[in-house]
Chains A and B, each alone.
Chain A
Amino acid sequence: MKKRIAVLVSLISLTLSAQTFAHFQLIYTPDAALENGGKIPLALVFTHPFDAGHTMDMGTPEQFFVLQTRGENPVKKMDLLDALVPISWQSLTNSGKAFKTDYTARGGDHIFCLVPDPYFEAEEDSYIQQMTKVIINVGGIPGAWMEPAGLPAEIVPLSKPYDRWTGNVFQGKVLYNGQPVPGAEIEIEHLNHEPLIARNAFASGPAVKAPQSSFELQTKFADDNGIFTFGIPKAGWWGFAALGLDEDATHKGKPCSKDAVIWIKAVDM
């Protein structure tokens, strides 16, 4: 009996561990490369993107802003925190507190940056804070997509994040407080259920079915310079999360995983 209990505890622990690692802060908008400017929707959801599973309650973010940058012009920063509207986002298993807004985009790069309120993970008695970026472009004139946005933890793209064909590679550099993080652990997930932004919900049907759970959440490590490379196997949004970039970080006296997340969108040729 003792052996059975030990095995059961071990299995539960593994399951919880897998769920924990699959948390992904999402900044969603339908397209990354737009031909024309105009109003675009944005949704901030803390979820499990591959299976559209358990969606966590978000607190009011610490920061949400956009860096507008076109050509050689100076970067303009616009605070978007006050524009956020609280919503309830429906996953396939529950609903969670999230946020939504509309944004008017003109030409150039728009680098959306989110510093969320740390999320308390009761099972681990610790916090998670995933600093998240997504970069979109209008009209094709690039801006400062390759420059750090100044987040405490961030992934800086080395490949233009909105010009990737399916089959290209994406390269990024993991920074913590502006310094590269050698050997950073990076988890990768496909946004496998289309977000139906008008309904604040994920579509029930997945884009792909994984043959085994390892394929749902891919893992790799950055090199000695904090750089990683990923071959993009399918069109759509892909999320990259560099985890636990500061082993000593705490929040309210408990450990806090400081993570950096970036989303990119690939399209088929």
Chain B
Amino acid sequence: MKPLKILMVLFAFGLFFTGICQAHTPLFSCFDNGDGSITCEGGFSDGSSAAGVAVRVVDKDGKVLMKDKLDKFSEYTVKKPAQEFSVIFDAGEGHQIKVPGKEIF
């Protein structure tokens, strides 16, 4: 393959992946259910599902307290930890969101 063709293919791939990144901003929000549990909702800015995306509850040192995947409704309900914690939505590199427990109302 000539260098020009390789460049063109690389350029096309670059455009393709840029498009994907821009079109799929991850979004993640958590709410206090008022019954000792929290529910977190994940998704993407284009409305596509986040079902199956990994979620982790970690303490202030990053130690994993609980881990699971978002359900078919892109939701995760879990008992609220007594200690300081954060919930992490992990859809891969560049698509991680951390919600501190103190910001969950």
Contact = CB atoms under 8 A, between A and B. Distances in A.
A245 to B, nearest CB: 29
Given A36-B105, A38-B105, A140 B45 contact: yes
Q: Could you say which interface size class chain B belongs to?
A: 10 to 19
Contacts of B47: 71-72, 141-143
Contacts of A138: 29
Nearest to A105: B31
Looking at A37, A72, A143, the one whose CB has the most chain B CB atoms below 10 A away is A72
Interface string B31-64: 1000000010111111111100000000000000
Residue from the set B43, B48, B50, B73 with the largest chain A CB neighbour count within 10 Å: B43
A72 B46 contact: no
Range of interface residues on chain A? Answer: 10 to 19
A139 interface: yes
B105 A71 contact: no
Nearest to A74: B73
A138 B28 CA distance: 11
A70 B41 CA distance: 9
Contacts of A38: 105
Contacts of A108: 41, 43
A56 B49 CA distance: 44
B27 A139 contact: yes
Q: Which of B25, B27, B39, B50 has the most CB of A within 10 A?
A: B27
Contacts of A141: 27, 29, 41-45, 47
Contacts of B49: 71-73
Give the secondary structure class of B's interface. Answer: loop
Nearest to B50: A71
Nearest to B40: A107
B79 to A, nearest CB: 19
B105 A107 contact: no
A140 B74 CA distance: 14
Contacts of A70: 41, 43, 74
A106 interface: yes
A42 to B, nearest CB: 19
A134 B72 CA distance: 28
Contacts of A139: 27, 29, 41
A72 B48 contact: yes
B27 A140 contact: yes
B74 A71 contact: yes
Contacts of B46: 142
Contacts of B44: 71, 141
Interface in A19-65: 36-38
Given A71-B74, A73-B74, A37 B45 contact: no
Contacts of B29: 36-37, 106-107, 138-139, 141
A39 to B, nearest CB: 10
Nearest to A145: B47
A37 B34 CA distance: 14
B45 A142 contact: yes
A65 B12 CA distance: 47
B52 to A, nearest CB: 12
Q: 8 shortest A-B CB distances, which residue pairs? A: A141-B43, A139-B29, A107-B41, A71-B43, A72-B49, A142-B47, A107-B29, A140-B27
5 contacts: A37-B31, A70-B74, A71-B44, A107-B29, A141-B47
